[in-house]
Structure 1
């Protein structure tokens, strides 16, 4: 997937997350289509529904199934700073992916040359290492395990392949397979 397409998708999904209310009954997919149009994204209701289903795998979102049409909202346990004006780069640089003393995990991944250039400019962690391979680079870093890590990994699309830990590799693979299956119609 080209970088520009990935960037447009991420921008749209981020705008979608900003439109979600903090409690039930939530907002419908149809209403979200109009809200996204108001901020410059012209998308179908089906695209919004797919985005919400994908984002709910990563973020603490809930769907109110008590009435039709369904309403989407942030879970009661959601981190408050995710809503509203949120600076993703600042959030990541201020420790979202930094190791927790004694509780970090070693992440090993293959990354494209382009992503390696970006990571040299803005490393994930202070201990991150990049090793050039015949094609791409191997990245190693001690990171905190959690949804911010998964969100970042998934946002890299085909520019990154988790190699270790194996459980994380399998989880990311299942998530991406599930998301790709939704586009097979």
Structure 2
């Protein structure tokens, strides 16, 4: 089950990012523990602190250490009013570590009902479409290709299955199969 553990870690860290406010004084690790419990993740304060320290190396997060307990929040350089939701599309467009494609890539995926509800609250893109299916929803959106997109896709675990483009579907499938193979035996 270590593959499930990795998937749970990514999902938890994604949920953690969504809980962070857009300005100082921020939110404490203890408060984040309770908020994560409310969305289904039972973790220790130390785990939340470790996650925040790791995520601050990748995302524009700041720790307000003017008073104890410390508060975490999105950096003012993250842009715009975040209202506690991470703007994935803005992050994908603004990532200086990858070349930005002018036209974007058409993504089609099956998503769970739970993820569809989250995406309605914080759309992936302006042109995103969700179509209800007998089970789950079909997601269509024009996205910027790159490692942040892959990180997000992998972080959704069993709540998302890439359908198109075929090359991305194959890549994600191979990544998941290789990760699962590491834990066999």
TM bracket (short chain): 0.5 to 0.7
Indicate conservation of the 8 Å contact 1:97/1:125, yes or no.
no
Report what 1:40 is aligned to.
46
- Supply the RMSD in Å over aligned alpha carbons: 3.7
1:151-170 superposed matches below 5 A: 151-170=151-170
Report what 1:143 is aligned to.
143
RCO (CA 8 Å, sep 6+): is it higher in 1 or 2? Answer: 2
Structure 1 residue 83: deviation in Å? 6.4
Report what 2:86 is aligned to.
90
Indicate conservation of the 8 Å contact 1:110/1:136, yes or no.
yes
The answer for unaligned runs of 5 or more in structure 2 is 17-44, 48-55, 63-73, 79-84, 95-99
1:49-64 superposed matches below 5 A: none
CA distance change for structure 1 residues 12 and 111 in 2, over 3 Å: closer, same or farther? closer
Structure 1 residue 116: deviation in Å? 0.4
Structure 1 residue 183: deviation in Å? 1.7
Report what 2:9 is aligned to.
9
Question: What is the CA–CA distance in structure 1 between the aligned matches of 2:59 and 2:114, rounded to whole Å?
Answer: 30
Report what 2:121 is aligned to.
121
SS in 2 for 1:40: helix
The answer for unaligned runs of 5 or more in structure 1 is 16-38, 42-79
Question: What is the CA–CA distance in structure 2 between the aligned matches of 1:121 and 1:8, rounded to whole Å?
Answer: 21
Question: What is the CA–CA distance in structure 1 between the aligned matches of 2:60 and 2:90, rounded to whole Å?
Answer: 18
Question: What is the CA–CA distance in structure 1 between the aligned matches of 2:154 and 2:171, rounded to whole Å?
Answer: 11
SS in 1 for 2:142: strand
TM-score, normalized by length of structure 1?
A: 0.55
Question: What is the CA–CA distance in structure 2 between the aligned matches of 1:143 and 1:155, rounded to whole Å?
Answer: 16
C-alpha distance after superposition, 1:90-128 (max 9, x if no partner): 352534168x67430100000000000000000100100
